[in-house]
Amino acid sequence: MAATDELLGPILRDVSRAFYLTLRVLPAEVRSPIALAYLLARTTDTIADTQLVPAEKRMQKLQQFRARIRDEGAPPVDFTHLAREQDNEAERALLQHSGEAIALLDKMEGADRGQIQLVLETITRGQELDLARFGDGSELKALETADDLDDYTYRVAGCVGEFWTRLTRTHCFADAEIDEQHFVQNSIRFGKGLQLVNVLRDLSHDLANGRCYLPAVDLAVAGLQPEDLRNPENWPRLKPVFMPWLEKATDHLAAGWHYTLQIPHEHYRLRLACAWPILMGRQTLDLVHKANPLQSEPRLKISRGKVRSIIWSTLWRVPFKGPWRRVFSE
């Protein structure tokens, strides 16, 4: 129990304070499986992003960990070396406790375990594809097309919307009458939107690590090469390429907001858990819109005061249908 409390408490809080807020408000029925899925996904993300370890070694560890998540009989994965290479203490602890996370997965009820295994299979395969594309980052490369970026955002985030929907639908409102196809489509767009926010916000950071997620085809229309984006003075040339992606991210988040409206009204906690990342994402896009995203400093991040404002403004509105509908457009 102590290991479980540490994993789903301090360790999870330290690797993502924003998600920890969402977790705390989630209905108890889905809190543990969603928390565990998040921890496992953050573990794979940490593996993939450990720049001091060669790309082929990271790929090997990702594949081994994916196999262990999928199959209880697969051998355990040794993360000792990877953990030593972490500057972030929370991510080091995450890797050091990965065996305990797997033990929790093995003990989880069959249907929930299957859903976690399914979404982690998609996420890790997306991360492996990313590593295969970009390698160790020594050479700056870009995704080729808009479809490549759309596929990437689905693999690492859109699939999480599907997972979230299947789990909450089963545990919280299995008998509710909902337009299922539209509901799932909105959940996917919800996840894609959050990942696009990350892509646009972290553009300069990714460029420094040899990764350009803006499609090369789009850049070519503006007469740009990925290398040109390392010069902040090229922002005016990039802006006509960049802004349609910002609008797409906003549209995805709006679909995510519609998703909150499709959740049965009495499920206040679930709607809040969806609303907070959507509204934080929209506020982040506002910062990106006003900035030059080719500049590495300052790092674009909404303030704690803005986070508190989002929380309090939604807490009083969530019982009321009219005020809730208007939150995203305010």
Express each pLDDT in 302-320 by its tens digit.
999 999 999 999 999 999 9
- Give pLDDT, residue 8: 67
**What mean pLDDT do residues 158-179 have?**
96
Burial of 320 (0-12, 13-18, 19+ CB in 10 A): exposed
Is 90 exceeded by the pLDDT of residue 16? no
pLDDT bucket at 10, cuts 50 / 70 / 90: confident
- The four Cα atoms 20, 119, 3, 5 give a dihedral, to 10 degrees, of 30
Is 60 exceeded by the pLDDT of residue 1? no
**What mean pLDDT do residues 284-296 have?**
95
The tens digit of pLDDT for each residue in 236-277 reads 999 999 999 999 999 999 999 999 999 999 999 999 999 999
Report the distance separating Cα 314 and Cα 274, nearest Å: 11
pLDDT bucket at 4, cuts 50 / 70 / 90: low
Percent of the chain exceeding pLDDT 90 equals 88
- Return the DSSP state at 78: -
Domain 137-330 is of which CATH architecture? Orthogonal Bundle (1.10)
Report the distance separating Cα 211 and Cα 303, nearest Å: 27
| Long-range contacts at 82-86 (CB < 8 A, ≥ 24 apart) | 82/46, 82/47, 82/50, 82/53, 82/58, 85/50, 85/52, 85/53, 86/46, 86/50
The tens digit of pLDDT for each residue in 103-136 reads 999 999 889 999 999 999 999 999 999 999 999 9
Burial of 321 (0-12, 13-18, 19+ CB in 10 A): exposed
The segment(s) of the chain belonging to CATH 1.10.600.10 are 1-136, 137-330
**What mean pLDDT do residues 10-14 have?**
84
The tens digit of pLDDT for each residue in 177-217 reads 999 999 999 999 999 999 999 999 999 999 999 999 999 99
**What mean pLDDT do residues 3-21 have?**
75
Report the distance separating Cα 309 and Cα 326, nearest Å: 16
CATH placement of domain 1-136:
1.10.600.10
The tens digit of pLDDT for each residue in 24-49 reads 999 999 999 999 999 999 999 999 99
